[in-house]
Amino acid sequence: MESINFDDNDNAVENDLLLREQSNENIKNKLQHGLRVLHETQDVGANIILNLHEQRSQIQSMRNKNQNINNDVSKSNRSLSRMTIESKKGKIFTILIIFLILVIITIIIILKSQN
């Protein structure tokens, strides 16, 4: 009869169990590592979203300020245009006054020379 060697069989089962246990431990470690990476990625993503919201607010604020500056520049341009027109009117008025004075002086000279 053949004798069954339980020691060899037990050792094989034990080795098989140890290998499976190590394999399960490796899988568990990999899953834990993957979970940590996932949480870190979520944190990074959340921070990026917060930064994007802050940048959006800053851009909107800059747009509003830019619009206010454009409005102020437009008002200034209108004021300068009015001032330029008034200055030209003033020059034309001054030229007319000088012309009238010259005409009056010429008329006075002509009248005095006729007497």
CA 39 from chain centre, in angstroms, equals 29
Mean of the pLDDT values across residues 39-63?
97
Tens of pLDDT, residues 53-108: 999 999 999 999 999 999 999 999 999 999 999 999 999 999 999 999 999 999 99
Q: Name the 3-class secondary structure at 2.
A: coil
**Full-prediction pTM beyond 0.85?**
no
For the cut 90, the answer to whether the pLDDT of residue 6 exceeds it is no
Amino acid at the residue 64 = N
CA 68 from chain centre, in angstroms, equals 17
